[in-house]
Amino acid sequence: MRRYSRRNKNTGHDHKDRWLITYADLITLLLIFFIVMYSVSQIDSDKYKVLTESLQLTFQSPNSVLDGGKGVTGTAGQNVNNGGTDSDQNQAGEQGGDKGQEQLTSREEAFRKQEQELSNLMQVIENYVNTNNLQNQVSVVDKPQGISITLSDQFLFDEGQADLKARSLGTLARLASLFQSINTTISIEGHTDNLPIVYASRYQDNWELSGARALSVLRYFIDTKKLDQANFQYAGYGATRPAADNSTAVGRQKNRRVEIIVLRQLQE
């Protein structure tokens, strides 16, 4: 009985240690599993490059069924399917660039031509003013926005009125003849001093007076001289854009004026 008990005890001890064998087998299998997974996960760069290029061509091709045969962008992949070589594409790009440069050069030439016209216009007006001794009534200045011709209100109108004086019509007629050959916009702007209208006048304030005076000059050009009205614009600014100090009589006289500006811009 004693021997049997001892052998039974030893057998129980052997069964208790057998789990180590199973555990070792499990760890070995897990190690093999992770090694296999790692080896499978290695990226073949060459195969990956081929795959990505294939996908790009598929989605960018004009024949792609995903976009009705026009590609994702509608223009992608044309160099592949149109049978054009890289040299053809480069030549087309160079031709497009040359065409754009020709258009830019053409516009630059148009601006140069207009600058020459404006320069000639200014010279002719200066000669006319000097010849007719109108230095105190008419002045011409080259401004960034264009050639500005300033006419004194005393030369154009009676006090508080917007009807053109007879003596100003000769000068306006000369300007009209010059404007016929100018292909740009001509802006007519009326200005006053800052004193309120206190004398008998049909105009409520300086806003109305300045606008009416600019309109009178405009009417002369388009109604009497039959110039194209599409080439003109007008505005009345009242006393908001003084050219001199309104605190002096001399300054106020300079502010009461009509400016005719031949603008620097090309007509479309």
- Domain extents in the chain: 111-263
Tokens of 264: 């620097």
- Please, which residues bridge with residue 257 across strands? 152, 191
pLDDT value at 179 more than 90: yes
Higher pLDDT, 147 or 92: 147
CB 163, CB 217: distance < 8 Å: no
Of 227, 233, 238, 192, the closest CA to residue 215 belongs to 233
Helix-then-strand count for the chain, H and E: 9, 5
Question: What digits encode the pLDDT tens for the residues 209-257?
Answer: 999 999 999 999 999 999 999 999 999 999 999 999 999 999 999 999 9
Name the CATH topology of 111-263: 60s Ribosomal Protein L30; Chain: A; (3.30.1330)
Percentage of the chain surpassing pLDDT 70? 68
The percent of the chain in helix, strand and coil, each rounded to the nearest 5, is 60, 10, 30
Question: Could you give the angle at which helices 169-179 and 86-131 cross, rounded to 10 degrees?
Answer: 160
- Distance of alpha carbon 216 from alpha carbon 197, whole angstroms: 19
CB 261, CB 143: distance < 8 Å: yes
pLDDT value at 176 more than 90: yes
* Mean pLDDT score, 184-207: 90
Question: What digits encode the pLDDT tens for the residues 64-121?
Answer: 444 444 443 444 444 434 445 555 555 555 555 555 555 567 878 888 888 999 999 9
